[in-house]
Amino acid sequence: MYYKRNNKRLSVSGRGDYMSTSDFIIQYYTNLDACRKFFYDIKWPTGYYCEKCGCTHYYFMKTKNCYRCANCKHDERLLSNTIFQDNKLPLNVLLYGLFLIFTANNGISSMELSKELKVNYKTACLLQTKARILMKNSNSKRFLDSDFYE
């Protein structure tokens, strides 16, 4: 992957997709529904299913920010049972941080990340640690159902 901070185009190796930082900010950072859909597609690539009853019918509850099974009324948050389960960052900040970490050509320090995301230094360190876990798991020989599962 290649990334330039001065809004040059980003090349994701092997896929031919191009997205600049400004394109990313317009598409995801300013649109919470797009961020929610991004994480939804990663968590449930084949569509929503309830962990308790296996039902595929659901509705989204904006007040609680969770998905509720239409059959058994089980509530499930988007990041539950993932590596980001106890994360307090908004989805757009989390996704922007991951974008910066994964696309930085020479890496990005926790100090730079904390300034860019406007978060605490410890939060930036934790996000980088979790991103490294994701990179390690994606490079391992075992296949994961999703990139964001522990």
User: What average pLDDT does the structure give for the chain?
Assistant: 79
Helical pair 121-139 and 110-117, crossing angle rounded to 10 deg = 110
Query: Which of 42, 37, 41, 40 has its CA nearest to residue 27?
Result: 37
| pLDDT tens per residue, range 53-95 | 888 999 998 888 889 999 999 999 888 888 888 888 988 899 9
13 dihedral zone (left: phi>0; alpha: psi -120 to 50; beta): beta
CA angle, 45 as apex, 70 and 113 as ends, to 5°?
Answer: 110
Q: Amino acid letter at 145?
A: D
Does residue 8 surpass a pLDDT of 70? Answer: no
Does residue 11 surpass a pLDDT of 50? Answer: no
